[in-house]
Every structure is written in structure tokens, then in C-alpha cells.
Amino acid sequence: MKSVLRNKKAIALFVLPSFILYTIFVIVPIGCTCIYALYSGTPGLNWKFVGLANCRKLLMDPKVKMAFIFTMKYVGMILFGQVGLGLLLALMFRFWIKRFNNLVRTITFFPIVLPLIAVGQLFRKIFEIQPNYGLFNSILANIGLTEYVEAWLGRPQTALICLVVMGLWNSIGFYAVIIYGGLLDISNDIIEAAQIDGARPIQLFKSILFPLLRPIIITCVVFSFTGSIKVFESIVALTKGGPGEATVSLAKLMYDTAFEAGNYGYGSAISMVIFVVCILGAYVIRRFDSKEV
């Protein structure tokens, strides 16, 4: 095996198929998108070169500004929820839930395998107010809190919260399982030695567990950020961008511009904003994983 790994031709042979697929399905589409962003209209129909006009239009477009602000709000709320609650669940799996541990982890992970469209329809029924109360409004009405019954998907602020709740329910198990795997790699001898020395749970987490879990937590933050910045399916399934355009994300705006309005050039320019934000955000997050920080 060592002789194979020393052979550069053998390494190239193993890497080449993956590199070819990566080039075809990732690099080439990104390159085409960059080129499309310099044009206006639809390829083959009103397709003309406009240079950086799309970029200038982006800076002045109020729809882009609203979509960017909404996306950042969603990312900020769901990122801390996914990683923070995922970490809390992982700690519960490792230290508190002893009986039926495998069953509880399976149930927690189960929502991630469900189609987002089905999850969206489920949560639409939960927050429904017409023609009948959904589960949430029914609970409020039955416990005497009828003044709080409202169209949760009909107001911008509550619609955002509903999207975050659905996103957390759907994905929190994924992050809990990843962090739980990192906890299992921490030797029991280290934990027992700290407990013998008198470390309380908070001290154990702060001084032992968190430093050892830091690379995994940083990776989870990167996954959460890059995944939530591209939020699209959950919006289509739950709010369809409403009420009005209050829950239109950058990805939803890009889709509407390119595929609904037929302006592939401007839609590609919006997608480049998402790409740049993903790269910059991931870079900033990874900086916290450096030894010097």
C-alpha cells in the first residue's frame, strides 16, 4: 500500500476520475454562471452582452437588498440553533441518555431523511389557521390562549420564525450525530481524570470537551452556514416567499429571476452573490480554527 501511495501515477489514476466529475459538475457550471452574469436576457432570445451592468443593478435593486437582509437573518438564527442545539443533544446522548440511546438518536436523525416538500406541507398544517386551526393554534385555543391564535405564516416576523423552526426540526439531528461522533473519540480516561480532579460539568465542557470538539464544531458551523445561505426548498414548501415578498431569499430571488422571469443573465449575477458570500463566510469561519486564534 505504501508503494502505491508513493507512486505519483497511481495517485493521479485514483484522483483523475473524481477530478473530471468535479470539473464537469462544479467548475464548468461556475464558469458558465460567471459568463452568463455578463449578459442580459435568455440565451438565444434577447441575449446581449451588458458587461458589469448587472453588477451595478444589483447594488441598486431593492429586491436584492431585501432578499439579502432576510437571508442573513435566517442564517444567523438557524446557524446558532443547528450547531448549539446539536451540541446540546450530542452531550445528552453521551452523558445523560443511557437507556434506549440508539433509538433516541435514530428518532432525532429521522427528519433529515424526509423530503423537504413533505416537511413543508407538514408545518403548513401545524401553523394553519384557515379553514381549520392547525396543531399549534389548536393547542393555544384549548389551553385558553385564544388571543395568541393568529396566521403565523401571514406575518413577516412570524413567518421567518416558522421557517427557522422547520429548519431546526429537519436538520438538528444531523449536527447532533456529527458532534456525538466527535464525543465518542474523546477517551474516557481524559474525562474521568478531569472528574477525579474535581472538574464540574461546566468546567469539564469548557476546559476539556470544547477544545477537543472545536474542529468538529467549526466544520458544523461551515456546513450550517453554506447550507442555510442557499435556503430555497423550505421557503418554496412552507411560505412560497410570502407574505408578499417578506421571505424571499437570495436563492429564491435568483430562481424567480432566471426561471420565472426568463432573465438568466441577471439571475446568474444574483447567484454569484450567493457564491461570493458562501466563500467569504466559510473563510472567516475557518479562520477561527487556526492555532493562533
- The 10s digit of each residue's pLDDT in 74-95 is 999 999 999 999 999 999 988 8
Lowest mean pLDDT among 29-38, 192-201, 257-266: 192-201
Provide, rounded to the nearest whole percent, the portion of the chain with pLDDT above 90: 43
C-alpha cell at 287: 479562520
**In angstroms, rounded to a whole number, what is the distance separating the alpha carbons of residues 176 and 167?**
14
Other Cβ atoms less than 10 A from the Cβ of 127: the count is 24
C-alpha dist (Å) from residue 60 to 71, 72, 85, 185: 18, 18, 38, 50
Confidence of residue 261 (pLDDT cuts 50, 70, 90): confident
- The 10s digit of each residue's pLDDT in 108-151 is 888 998 888 899 999 999 998 888 888 999 999 999 888 888 88
Alpha helices, H only, 131-209? 135-142, 156-184, 188-196, 201-204
Work out the mean pLDDT of the chain and round it to a whole number. 88
CB contact set of 184 (below 8 Å; sequence gap of 6+): 94
- 3-state secondary structure at position 40: strand
Which domains does the chain carry?
61-287 (1.10.3720.10)
Confidence of residue 6 (pLDDT cuts 50, 70, 90): low
Side chain identity at residue 46, one-letter code:
N
Q: Quick one: pLDDT at residue 3?
A: 61
31, burial (CB in 10 Å: exposed 0-12, middle 13-18, buried 19+): exposed
Q: Quick one: pLDDT at residue 293?
A: 43
C-alpha dist (Å) from residue 47 to 32, 39, 269: 14, 7, 15
Q: Could you tell me the pTM of the whole model?
A: 0.88
Confidence of residue 5 (pLDDT cuts 50, 70, 90): low
- The 10s digit of each residue's pLDDT in 229-247 is 999 999 999 998 888 889 9
Mean pLDDT of 176-185: 91
Mean pLDDT of 212-224: 91
Q: Quick one: pLDDT at residue 262?
A: 86
231: alpha, beta or left? (left if phi > 0; alpha if psi -120 to 50): beta
191 within 8 A of 208, measured Cβ to Cβ? yes
Decide if pLDDT at 1 tops 60: no
